[in-house]
Amino acid sequence: YPPERIRNFSIIAHVDHGKSTLADRLLELTGTIKRGHGQPQYLDKLQVERERGITVKAQTATMFHRHTVGGTNSSDKQDSPSFLLNLIDTPGHVDFSYEVSRSLAACQGALLVVDAAQGVQAQTVANFHLAFESNLTIIPVINKIDQPTADPERVKSQLKSLFDLDPEDALLTSAKTGKGLDQVLPAVIERIPSPDGKRDSPLRMLLLDSYYDEYKGVICHVAVVDGALRKGDKIGSAATSQTYEVLDVGIMHPELTSTGVLFTGQVGYVVSGMRSTKEARVGDTLYHAKFTVDPLPGFKPAKHMVFSGLYPADGSDFDALNHAIERLTCNDASVSVMKETSTALGMGFRCGFLGLLHMDVFHQRLEQEYGARVISTIPTVPYIFEYADGSKIQVQNPAALASNPGKRVAACWEPSVIATIIIPSEYVGPIITLCSERRGEQLEYSFIDSQRALMKYRLPLREIIVDFYNELKSITSGYATFDYEDSEYQKSDLVKLDVLLNGQPVDAMATIVHSLKAQRVGRELVDKLKKLIDRQMFDITIQAAIGSKVVARETLSAMRKNVLAKCYGGDVTRKKKLLEKQKEGKKRMKRIGSVDIPQEAFHELFKIS
Ligand code: GDP
Ligand code: MG
């Protein structure tokens, strides 16, 4: 396939607008997967993705489609030239916008899918801008036109006013009924430019992604920008200067299909005897080892926005957890991992994530795919503290601040984000209230049509990772949509809030909060802990303190908890069930000092802002 007959495109959309369904339909239409293959959403391969209905890792699939440019009747379809189309699926959630921009780097165009009833939403705006900045040709697709509340005309006018897209260019589809789908691939072929690499130049290819396969080892997804790659070639990495022999090369059709060669403009996979995905740096340029080439522009590295400690639920399981984390990070290089030790929880890890959902997904995969049982500590964002002597540290673990007791803090900074919120106009008031409670600063307030407002706020990252999204949804009856991008660090007035049980500080429960909120957060932490911890054989004092100043205090009086007291009547099976449930609950207890703490306590505490 010469570059003129290759198209690389991606589908971008707000979550639930039908991106994965459309991708599946296109794969079916081209015979790449069988119709009704029984596994909904082919590209969402991970169990967590299926369960949560989100895409976490971008996947690629190659399909073939016959088409005559300029349009003719369908009878000469057999004689039409065949095109090679690479579809690169992108994750929909804001945590993974890093993955989105990475997938877009290999594309020349994108289908911008918008739900005909919901209209443009916050992620549509964010994804449009990512695609626009990458100079992609954008094809608007108004999907779900089968819905009774579909209003494609309104969506067209939003596309025009927000993105200056010509309403004439919009395709109308239903990925459910199949209506309009036959227009999609012709539009891809006719409107999206072919990749413009140089066929006769030395090989340059962009490393898009990598993962570890038990049988084949490290598999790299690559986009060949210039030249061609063949099995047996010797390739080098611009990032590490290591060289490798190409053992296998091919396309994802949609399973790995060996072709022995990849030409200019193609997207495919390479197996080259790399031992660990750590050698496969995403954004790296690979080239023929006998030439020297200028590296391609790489991607922005992943930024870790949320940190949390991960500890084995059972202290002796450290090696098992270590092993599980090592294997999982082989397939998710966007997590950073460092060993750490907590007085309360023993040996564990400090992990950095792209966002809260990313963190949850990582936990879920550790437990589901690797059978690890973990306790995670209160997540934190990376703060910067400057001491009076001028030294600065990035604080990824609130407990780390204690190691400098003699040093006076001179200034601190916290990361902020620019949030885009789209809402029906009647909800503007509640949004303003919510954002000002969360220390937000309004940057923009405008209308995208007669009924919908777009608001932009600068908010401290800390304030949006704490239950912001749920609250936003609940005060707007689910109508608000939200997306954000990183912004700079802002000076702030932060203090470390300690939790003490029977006078002993629990390092794994320390948090950093804004000084104006410290009193209230301290109160809520103490109240919450009092509810979460079961009464034990002795009194427990629970305190929240800033330095030596106690801001809240409660006592949990001694009493043996009798689960059976709740049972009325003498139903034996019910009693048994309760006792079993209590036993089950005990497994996830952590003993700190002499106090047993249920594992949810660590996570629950973070929900307090
Ligand atoms: P994604 O989050 O953008 O990948 O969205 P999905 O493809 O997972 O689709 C979200 C939901 O919308 C699923 O329940 C789909 O079955 C449904 N859906 C997708 N396309 C259509 C459509 O054209 N019409 C209708 N009525 N539902 C659709
Ligand atoms: Mg999806």
Q: What is the pLDDT of residue 379?
A: 85
Q: Would you say 73 is a known binding-site residue?
A: no
Q: What is the pLDDT of residue 406?
A: 65
Q: What is the pLDDT of residue 155?
A: 96
Report the distance separating Cα 417 and Cα 354, nearest Å.
13
Tokens standing for 160?
């025009």
Q: What confidence category does residue 283 fall into, taking pLDDT thresholds of 50, 70 and 90?
A: confident
Helix (H) and strand (E) counts in the chain: 14, 33
**458 in ligand 1 pocket by Cβ < 6 Å?**
no
Q: Has the ipTM of the complex gone over 0.95?
A: yes
Cis peptide before 254 (omega within 30 of 0): yes
**20 in ligand 1 pocket by Cβ < 6 Å?**
yes
Per-residue pLDDT for 160 more than 90?
Answer: yes
Q: What atom in ligand 1 is closest to the CA of residue 54?
A: 2
When mean pLDDT is compared across 210-214, 555-559, 603-607, the lowest value belongs to 603-607
Give the dihedral sign, CA 523/585/51/254. Answer: positive
- pLDDT (tens digit, 9 = 90+) per residue, 72-113? 555 556 678 899 999 987 765 656 666 667 778 889 999 999
- pLDDT (tens digit, 9 = 90+) per residue, 192-242? 999 988 999 999 999 888 888 888 888 998 999 999 999 999 999 988 889
- pLDDT (tens digit, 9 = 90+) per residue, 566-598? 555 556 666 666 666 555 544 456 666 677 777
When mean pLDDT is compared across 243-252, 375-384, 553-562, the lowest value belongs to 553-562
Report the distance separating Cα 510 and Cα 438, nearest Å.
21
pLDDT over 70, % of the chain: 83
Q: What is the pLDDT of residue 99?
A: 64
Ligand 1 midpoint to CA 144 (Å): 7
Give the dihedral sign, CA 72/77/81/87. Answer: positive
Report the distance separating Cα 225 and Cα 368, nearest Å.
38
* pTM score above 0.80: no
Q: What atom in ligand 1 is closest to the CA of residue 13?
A: 3
What distance separates the 2 farthest-apart alpha carbons in the chain?
86
Per-residue pLDDT for 315 more than 70?
Answer: no
Report the distance separating Cα 143 and Cα 174, nearest Å.
5
Tokens standing for 182?
């036959």
Report the distance separating Cα 399 and Cα 512, nearest Å.
9
User: Where do runs of H (alpha helix) occur along 57-149?
Assistant: 97-104, 122-133
Residue in the structure block whose two tokens are 């289908």: 111
Q: Would you say 90 is a known binding-site residue?
A: yes
Q: Would you say 15 is a known binding-site residue?
A: yes
Tokens standing for 531?
């509810």
Ligand 2 midpoint to CA 123 (Å): 13
Higher pLDDT, 116 or 399: 116
Q: Which of 14, 15, 21 to mutate to test the pocket of ligand 1 (most atoms within 8 A of CB)?
A: 21
Which residue's alpha carbon is at the smallest distance from atom 1 of ligand 1? 16
- Per DSSP bridges, beta strands 6-13 and 109-115 are parallel
Report the distance separating Cα 125 and Cα 226, nearest Å.
32
Average pLDDT, the chain: 84
- pLDDT (tens digit, 9 = 90+) per residue, 28-50? 999 888 766 555 555 555 565 55
Are residues 244 and 197 in contact, defined by beta-carbon separation less than 8 angstroms?
no
Per-residue pLDDT for 563 more than 70?
Answer: no
Q: Which three-class secondary structure state does DSSP give residue 301?
A: coil
Q: Which of 16, 93, 147, 172 to mutate to test the pocket of ligand 1 (most atoms within 8 A of CB)?
A: 16
Tokens standing for 414?
């916290």
Q: Would you say 146 is a known binding-site residue?
A: yes
Q: Let me know if 297 is exposed, middle or buried by CB neighbors in 10 A (0-12, 13-18, 19+).
A: exposed
Closest of 484, 579, 448, 457 to residue 97, by C-alpha: 484
Q: What is the pLDDT of residue 134?
A: 86
**112 in ligand 1 pocket by Cβ < 6 Å?**
no
Report the distance separating Cα 78 and Cα 65, nearest Å.
11
pLDDT over 90, % of the chain: 42
Higher pLDDT, 534 or 307: 307
Q: What confidence category does residue 157 fall into, taking pLDDT thresholds of 50, 70 and 90?
A: very high
Q: Residue 491 is inside which H or E element, if any? A: strand 481-492
Tokens standing for 566?
């709740």
User: What's phi and psi for 167, nearest 5 deg?
Assistant: -55, -30
Cis peptide before 3 (omega within 30 of 0): no
Which residues, chain by chain, have CB under 5 Å from ion ligand 2? 20, 55
Q: What is the pLDDT of residue 587?
A: 47
Ligand 1 midpoint to CA 143 (Å): 9
Q: What atom in ligand 1 is closest to the CA of residue 15?
A: 2
Give the number of whichever ligand sits closest to the CA of residue 12: 1
In sequence order, the β-bridge partners of residue 543 are 500, 553
- pLDDT (tens digit, 9 = 90+) per residue, 267-281? 999 999 888 877 887
Q: Would you say 143 is a known binding-site residue?
A: yes
Per-residue pLDDT for 6 more than 90?
Answer: yes
- pLDDT (tens digit, 9 = 90+) per residue, 368-421? 888 888 888 888 899 999 988 888 888 998 887 765 556 788 899 999 999 999
Tokens standing for 99?
């993955």
Q: Residue 311 is inside which H or E element, if any? A: strand 306-312
- Per DSSP bridges, beta strands 171-172 and 137-143 are parallel
Q: What is the pLDDT of residue 446?
A: 93
**180 in ligand 1 pocket by Cβ < 6 Å?**
no
Per-residue pLDDT for 182 more than 50?
Answer: yes
- pLDDT (tens digit, 9 = 90+) per residue, 428-483? 999 999 999 999 999 999 998 888 999 999 999 988 887 788 788 889 988 888 88
Report the distance separating Cα 355 and Cα 465, nearest Å.
8
